[in-house]
Amino acid sequence: MTTIHLITKIKAPIETVFNNSRNITIHIETAHKTNEKAIAGVTSRLININETVTWRGKHFGIFLQHQSKITEMQFPNHFTDEMLKGCFKTFKHEHIFIHENGTTIMEDKLMYETPFGIFGKLFDKIVLEKHLTDFLLERNQSLKMLSENQQ
């Protein structure tokens, strides 16, 4: 299993950052490089516990679909989305928010397994882990700018 762990410090209220992170419309705007669209389930607004969304986006030159469900949520401290259908063997993304001295610390823990045995592990180490890390870093920077400018 691969784990990507990122920390982003955002000078905005925890509630703002939490809600922006689970806003489907904002996700579409901040994932423009992969042309991601929400095509089923919740396709706009804030997604909530036990709701699903199916994403369609272009990764590695091909369109892929990924359906996830919000399996845990405690406003405004954390939520977890887990893959129901998609290209991974397993996929779980924990979003954690901590308020500290006027700053929100947004923590991502993305844990996933690739299919296809040794070939999947090799693809992960050569390409996939960096691709997902870069995707999250770029998205988090967009969330940071958006959240800080909403004040």
**Where exactly are the structural domains of the chain?**
2-149
CATH of 2-149, one of 3.30.70.2170, 3.40.50.300, 3.40.50.620, 3.30.530.20: 3.30.530.20
pLDDT tens figures, 2-19? 999 999 999 999 999 999
pLDDT tens figures, 108-125? 999 999 999 999 999 999
pLDDT score of 82: 98
pLDDT score of 88: 97
Write out the two tokens for 31.
């994932």
Q: Cα-flanking dihedrals φ and ψ of residue 35, to 5°?
A: 55, 40
- The DSSP annotation for 64-95 comes to EEEEEEEEEEETTTEEEEEEEESSSSEEEEEE
pLDDT of 24 strictly over 90: yes
3-state helix, strand, coil in the chain (%, to 5): 35, 45, 20
pLDDT score of 21: 97
Longest dimension (CA), the chain: 48
In this structure, what DSSP letter does residue 53 have? E
pLDDT score of 151: 66
pLDDT of 31 strictly over 90: no
pLDDT tens figures, 53-93? 999 999 988 999 999 999 999 999 999 999 999 999 999 99
